[in-house]
Structure 1
Amino acid sequence: MALHVLHYLHHGRAQWGVVAEGAITPIPGEYESTAAFIEANPVERLMILSGPSIPESEVQWLSPITANQQFICQGANYRQHMIESGMDPDVKKFNMIFTKAPSCIVAADSAIVKPRAVRFLDYEIELGLVLKRDITSGETVTEANLHEYIAGVVIVNDYSARDIQIPQMQFYKGKSFRTFGPVGPYLCLLEKHDIPKLKELVLTLTVNGTVRQNDTTAGLVYGPAETLTELSRVHDLRTGDLLATGTPSGCALSIPSPEKQRAAAQLSEEDKWRLFLKMQEDRPQYLQVGDVVEAWIVSLDRSINLGVQQNVVVEEAV
């Protein structure tokens, strides 16, 4: 059975607890990182946790991924999102990997600060995988042993400044402004028999109540097993690290078709990016100050319910 855990602040103290029906059963101990929490609390032990509970309404949410963990991301990992990003899914045969700064991680109900210099702020709901153990050499991860590598899952919203990410070719900078990485609210810890449900999670995102993104993880192009296998041959991964698996279609970003891109290749760099920015100006989907973004991920059988993120876009302080 999947187990839902909350990292929270209560009476000035950061704690972890098991959540059920709006009540939190505190987990004994203090843990300074997601890694320390996972290593000390096997899901089987938490299943039998007992003790007095507190109402969830009395606590302040914290991110279940602490800022001392790696934040790794997959890009263009749903077929339709590839198309809206200007890629040909029948030609792109590689797993796009990048990172976000852990300093952008915030709680699931945090305000999103829109930098004054950013014109085109976009949203990206994603399923986040939380690692169960260190990976320090090349390993072969399969569907059969995936439960040995994934402790649980979370909601991630990969907010992105498209006018920095695309024209400047700065994925890291364009996606790493502070507050651009809300995570949670819940860390859903998984048992072996829960792992197949990772292929049947429904992702939904709304802006001001209107659905912008809605898809299932069945549409992932590069799944968790093959991605972890590939990453294990590149660099070290640690317990508690976060892997965001990509976003479905429905983002505000609009990229010219391959045909238009070939035509634009004849233009100067300055004219090419002027054309790109003009295209974005015509997209009302980009986020503005005051917009409310909600995101949730639920399994078809409802046994995995990662809660609801709600972020209000606010203006950067002077």
Structure 2
Amino acid sequence: MSGMSFNSENNFYYSPMAYTARCSSVVPSPTPIVRPNGMYKSSGDSLPQFQPTRKLDYELELAFFISNPVPSGTIVSPESAEEHIFGYVLMNDWSARDIQMYESLPVGPLNCKAFGTTISPWVVMPEALAHARTEPRNQRARKDQIPAHLKQDNLSQSTYEITCHAFLQRSGSEVAKPVSTSSTAHMFWSPGQLLAHRASTGCGLLTGELIGLGTVSSPEELWPDKSLERRGCLFEITNDGKEDVNINDIGGRWLEDGDIVVLEAWAPGDDGVKIGFGKVSGRVLPETSSSMLKTTNKNGTHI
């Protein structure tokens, strides 16, 4: 989350953030997303309960698909990592923040990030983004602390200037109102560095794997436009639900049933042409009651 502030001791500057997911939850726009259930403690609960999330959120992200596989046991450099990137999509990495915070203490997030992941209808090739090539705006100042396996010689062409927009259509409203505008150029890590880090354990990568780059948020000092938010998720915009969304009379703190999230992204092309990723949209549907959840026996039939 590039828009958040971190001190020099935070491991964000030494090890990129990442979450595991599952391919079954990756869906194309505009597939609806059902409010997920999960384990967490609400205010006043003495024990965690299996219950629907009350802090449903979206995350504005860019992601890429793997083309050439990385063999198991192989480590790649950030420069050579780009040889394994097929193309980019815009992505909404839906998140359940209350489930996430409970799962993250002390182990790590799992179900909170893997119930729904919406991707754009278009996969944009790296060649189409040639005119969007740029340098991560805030990495060079910290280049001396980048670990050896993530050092990238040609920072000036290592990432992209892609402008991203988030819109929210509250339930009962007829229009989606703009919430935020931010840029991938303000993200700390480049796509090549993130791929290199993902493969650095020797796990290998398979053709078709999808890797997200993290929430696209712009730091205040690099984004002077105050007419819209610059942060790519409600968790950041509302300070974890402590404040209302104070933009375009949208109000509220988290996503409500019936809300529609719409994401867009545009990159500069040749002769002033803009390269679009297509809209990423999804409506929030009410949760499936835990008493009505179907279970499956060993023969694969519902019981």
Instruction: With the length of structure 1 as denominator, give the TM-score of the two structures.
Output: 0.60
Q: What is the match of residue 215 of structure 1?
A: 182
The answer to whether 1:173 aligns with 2:111 is yes
Deviation (angstroms), 1:147 = 4.4
Cα gap change, 1:89 to 1:131, in 2 (>3 Å): farther
Q: Which runs of 5+ in 1 are unaligned?
A: 1-75, 258-278
Q: Give the secondary structure class of the aligned counterpart of 1:138.
A: coil
The aligned amino acid for 2:113 is: K
| Distance of aligned partners of 1:317 and 1:129 in 2 relative to their CA distance in 1, 3 Å threshold | same
Q: Which amino acid aligns with 1:140?
A: S
Per the alignment, residue 131 of structure 1 pairs with 66
Residues 1:305 and 2:276 aligned together: yes
Distance 1:106 1:228 in 2: 22
* Equivalent residue number for residue 141 of structure 1: 78
Please report how far the alpha carbon of residue 191 of structure 1 lies from its aligned counterpart in structure 2 after TM superposition. 2.7
How much does 1:281 deviate? 6.5
**Counterpart AA for 1:182:** T
Cα distance in 2, alignment partners of residues 290 and 255 from structure 1:
20
- The residue that corresponds to 2:285 in the other structure is 314
Q: Which residue of 2 aligns with 1:246?
A: 214
Amino acid at match of 2:121: P
Q: Match for residue 194 of structure 1?
A: 130
Question: Cα–Cα, structure 1 residues 312 and 255, in superposed 2: closer, same or farther, change >3 Å?
Answer: closer
Greater than 6 Å deviation, 4+ residue runs: none
Contact 2:91 2:119 in 1 (8 A): yes
1:183 alignment counterpart: 119
Say how many residue pairs are matched: 212
1:210 deviates by: 2.6
Q: What corresponds to 2:34 in structure 1?
A: 113
For 1:119, what is the secondary structure of its paired residue? coil
Distance 2:242 2:103 in 1: 17
Judged with a 3 Å threshold, the aligned counterparts in structure 2 of structure 1 residues 90 and 213 are, in CA distance, closer, same or farther, namely farther
The corresponding residue for 2:99 is: 164
Identity %: 25
Could you tell me the TM-score, scaled by structure 2's length?
0.63
2-side partners of 1:238 and 1:195: how far apart? 28
CA deviations on 1:196-233 (whole Å, 9 max, x unpaired) are 54511111111112323311111110111222222221
Partner Cα distance (1:115, 1:230) in 2: 30
> What runs of 5+ residues in structure 2 fail to find an aligned partner?
38-51, 134-158, 170-175, 218-230, 245-251, 290-303
Distance change >3 Å, CA 176–CA 105, structure 1 → 2: same
| 1:280 Cα deviation after fit | 2.9
Deviations 1:107-162, CA, capped at 9 Å, x for gaps:
110111113611000010110111121112011131xx454221111111010000
Structure 1 or 2: more strand by fraction: 1
Q: Secondary structure at the match of 2:86?
A: strand
Secondary structure at 2:284 match in 1: strand
Aligned partner of residue 69 in structure 2, secondary structure: coil
Match 2:25 to one of 104, 107, 114: 104
Aligned pairs for 1:51-90 (under 5 A) are 76=1, 78=2, 80=3, 82-83=4-5, 87-88=6-7
Q: CA RMSD in A?
A: 2.6
Partners of 1:310 and 1:175 lie apart in 2 by: 17
1:210/1:303 Cα in 2 relative to 1: closer, same or farther (>3 Å)?
Answer: closer
Shift in alpha-carbon separation, 1:239–1:245, aligned structure 2, 3 A: same
Q: Return the alpha-carbon distance in structure 2 between the equivalents of residues 201 and 255 of structure 1.
A: 20
Structure 2 residue matching 1:227: 3-state secondary structure: helix
| C-alpha displacement of 1:195 | 7.9
CA pair 108-255 structure 1, distance change in 2 beyond 3 A = closer
Equivalent residue letter for 2:18: I
